[in-house]
Every structure is written in C-alpha cells, then in structure tokens.
Structure 1
Amino acid sequence: MGTLIYGPQDVEFDDRLLTHLEIVIVNKFRRRESFLMSWLDDLSVGSGRSSMWMSAEVPVYFKYLGSRVPAINRDWLRLLETEANGPRGLIVLDEDGSPAHAGRAGQQRPDRDAHPVRKIA
C-alpha cells in the first residue's frame, strides 16, 4: 500500500493504483487544473466514501511501499483521465473499472507547525 499525502490528509492506495493516480494528478496539475477526487473507504476505516478537492497550490506527495515501478496500463490510465476530466471529477477506479477502496481515508496528520499542549502541574 502506498500513501497519497495531500495537505494534512493521508490516503492509502495499492501501489499499482497509486502509480496510475500519480500520472493523472500530475498531468492535471501541470495544466493548473483543480478537480474533485472521490473513492470508497475501506471497511477498516468505517466504510462509506470520501472526496477531496485537489489543487496544484497544495503540495502532494506520493509514497510507495514497494521499490519497483509497475507497468502502466494505458487503457486504465485513459479511463482515469476521462473520469478526472468529467463533471464528477476523478472517481478512483480499479483496473477492472470497479470503484476502488482506500485505507486511512480522511485521517488527518497533525499540523507540522502545531506544538503539543503541555499540562503544567
């Protein structure tokens, strides 16, 4: 499982899926295009679905668990690009076209500038 880190959000996707998402997201950001990205939440994070507004103004980081770059499926890439350019935004789909699940969806990381509150006795 790789991790998409966008602002204070961490979202885990399979490395192969994340590689394809990276290509689509980077291409949209190169064109300075913002878009909505949506996925199904894994049962481990309570089920449901999540959406996130993606904008080139916010740093994005792709962290992969594996060290090998998977082969790119051009048909899958075109499907994801079509979704990203549609009115509903990028609906994250698995290679077979079914809705993809993500782990830790919506989990926020602490702000890097925030300092923990200390209790003084």
Structure 2
Amino acid sequence: MGTLYYGDSQTPIGIEDRALAHLKVALITKLRRGESFTLSWQHHDDEPRGRSTIWVHPSIPMRFVFDTPERPELNKEWINDLMVSANSTGGVQLVPEHLDTASIATMPDRPPGADVDVHALVGAVTLDRAN
C-alpha cells in the first residue's frame, strides 16, 4: 500500500502501489501544465462509508511513497482513463484499471469463467488513520 501525502494534511491517503503509480503520472502531467483540479475517490470498505475530494494546486506540496521499490509496467489505457477524468468538470476520479481478463490465467481452484475481482487485483483507495 503506497501513500500520497498532500499539503500539510495530517491524514495520509493510502493507495495501492500500482494505482498510485498510474495516478502519479496523471497528476504530474496536470501540474506540469500549471492546472488546478480536484481529485476524488471512494473510501475503502474498511473505512467509514463515503468519498473524499481534495483540491490539487501546483503550489501545494505532494509526495508519493511506494511500498515496493520496483516500478510497475504502466498501462497506457488506464493513464488515458485518468487523464480523461482529469479533463472533465468533475476532476480526477480514481477509476479502476481495465484488465484484459482473457489474459489472466484461471487459478486452479477457480472454475473457468468465474468472475475476476478487479478490486482485489488492483487494490482500492483507503485513508490511513494517522494519530
């Protein structure tokens, strides 16, 4: 689980490493252009129900911390989906990755054609409660 630190907030935003790597590309692209925007996400299942939104501005410090030292291979389609949402009036929405489920090998204990839990594969956004 990676972490996004934004401004002087005392509550870091926990985001699965793969999702954070893709989100980083979209956010940095917008910030390089000097653009301000919102970033929204739904709370993880083990957090209080709801969603959060922050205002992202080039003058507010942001730090990305990854749990894994390796950089994941980036999915250009996922980055494009994030950028499309970034350019909408609703701001950046942390949308799930579109996986080619046909290329995912069926696990031995799963029957062929069983649903793939995308959130389990990709991860979800959580708010870490720092005290």
TM-score by length of 1: 0.81
* Structure 2 runs not aligned, ≥5 long: 100-117
Take 1:47 and 1:102, find their aligned partners in 2: how far apart are those partners?
12
**In the TM superposition, what whole-angstrom CA distance separates every residue of 1:84-112 from its partner, at most 9, and x where no partner exists?**
0111101111102989841116x5x68xx
Number of matched pairs? 108
Per the alignment, residue 102 of structure 1 pairs with: 125
- Please identify which structure carries the higher strand content: 1
Aligned to 2:80: 78
Distance (Å, rounded) in 2 between the aligned partners of 1:38 and 1:29: 16
TM-score of the superposition, structure 2-length normalised?
A: 0.75
Report the equivalent of 1:63: 65
Query: What one-letter code is carried by the residue in structure 1 that aligns with 2:94?
Result: V
**CA deviation profile, 1:33-54 (whole Å, cap 9, x unmatched):** 0001100001222121111111
1:4 counterpart residue number: 4
AA aligned to 1:81 is: M
Percent of aligned pairs with the same amino acid: 31
- Distance, in Å, in 2 between the alignment partners of 1:40 and 1:19 is 18
Q: Show structure 1 runs of 5+ residues with no match.
A: 111-121
| RMSD, aligned α-carbons | 2.1
Q: Does 1:23 align with 2:25?
A: yes
Checking the alignment, whether the CA contact within 8 Å between 2:22 and 2:79 is kept in structure 1 is yes
